[in-house]
Structure 1
């Protein structure tokens, strides 16, 4: 009988997922939502993996949120019956794909983000031959898509009402601006965000749901929802990263379920070690302090610079590293890391439990 493959057998760089911690993260968020009476509709743009989506649904998630149609198409294999594509669709060439998704799902929703976009979406919807359920985007501080205030939301609602192929079914926001600084549960900004979102909803139709979405705020939003919030849509919580640990502090470093295992390949000068993982592994995303990754074991060094295939490791502990040493790192932003990989290796402690192909890798259309 062949011995199980271990982590030591793997070439680097490689993306490792701790199966036990992944399950704890999935169940922890689901528990928080269940206790608050709020639906969980997780965003799959973080993991892009059918096996993870299936676990989220099995744990109790009501449906899935996707960034693009390609992600939604890839996630059909998870068994999801409800999906929301939270992106501004305008291209009428997408009509056959939208129609096919709507046909296969019990509840399929798309986003209405402005009057002009809603007009283009109406044209797309007309080509599907069906009426599309839409969630209206409300900008609560990110400065991206969505109505900026209740009056703008009312104007957008009027545009949607005039569209014969669009049906307003709720409101959503992405409060991603919480990612930039430490976060403490009870932050007044969360209450302000909820009030802003609900004010826009209440001015149009108090009976419609609101679905905010951000891993930083999700549990806090659920806890203080008091019937005002019907669903949350976090994504990065399943794996964790430096944005959730080192920057915002909503996760502990030991709760991170995904690491990049890299090898020290050179030490060209004092205070500098090079690893075999660069921007094509970590992406170009970094923390506000300019860090691309930190060692999972807490040693005093960081990936402070990247080229395509090299990571520059600096810091007080860099000189103690040895050429050939393998180091697990926590990336600054996990979503982009997964999208760069063909597969992730699932581990149970030190053994390889499975290899999961990244089903929605590169699904940017």
Structure 2
């Protein structure tokens, strides 16, 4: 059977591309190597933050459209996925990260409060950040697992075909792309979208694309409140270091496990093979040690040891930049990867662009910030490439 487009990887990005293509009348096949739903990739879990401001104003300007696309999905599916909630940016001083984000928030018309440390402590006495600089504002959170399933359900309702437990073994590029799977199937399509998450390098290298990607095991920790309900109303807080590093710690009341507080740490992860993610479990997990120290110092109302530790995988370039674009030799192959930490909130817009690329249309969004051309190292890459 031949399709207009095949999509490999049914995480939030692949599912978003599939949903939008099917809604536009294209005949689409969406494949995933595991039984759905699963927690092997990077799109699972109860909550993602649809936050802004961003330090880069160019990313910032896309967020209103991203939000509108999520709202449209809610409307079409007759369900609620997003929720408005308070948030805070916390830094040891009024450093560059703080001032840049405050400036961008104000430039974008986002209502925010620039608080003294004493004001923040008075409002949230269960938090201890003496002398820190804080500004607060409202953001959206999204029910992540529900959102991915919603995209997949709407995709199928619009005539799409979704197959799980269907691992791609080989891709033969050409005007008609042929995909071979572990079940002995051979699917053909006019275009293909590759959104393989942590498996990007394994899928792209046989196609002559070698990207500087690393896959990290991220430990998400959940700490129990010493006094039930003590942290139920604290804002989603992003804590930065004074050296300008972005989003070092993130904590907020857990929706997955009521009565627990979710705490993430943004550095010192273990690099892993995505097929062997849990082999490092017996090793000393440095990020967990650092998270516990952070909780002891700043969140004293929590138990000192995490009650739950959930693994996730991040796929990143050295600068944690998104990669989106067409294969340099095969323009009907669209690629989206290195989305970790930003990809969920941007999935509607990036998914639409990938669908446009794979079906031979001009992208409706300027991809120069995230273009794959910056990273392609294949010796077969043409010396001159068309600007997307």
TM-score range, shorter chain: under 0.3
| TM-score, normalization by structure 2 | 0.26
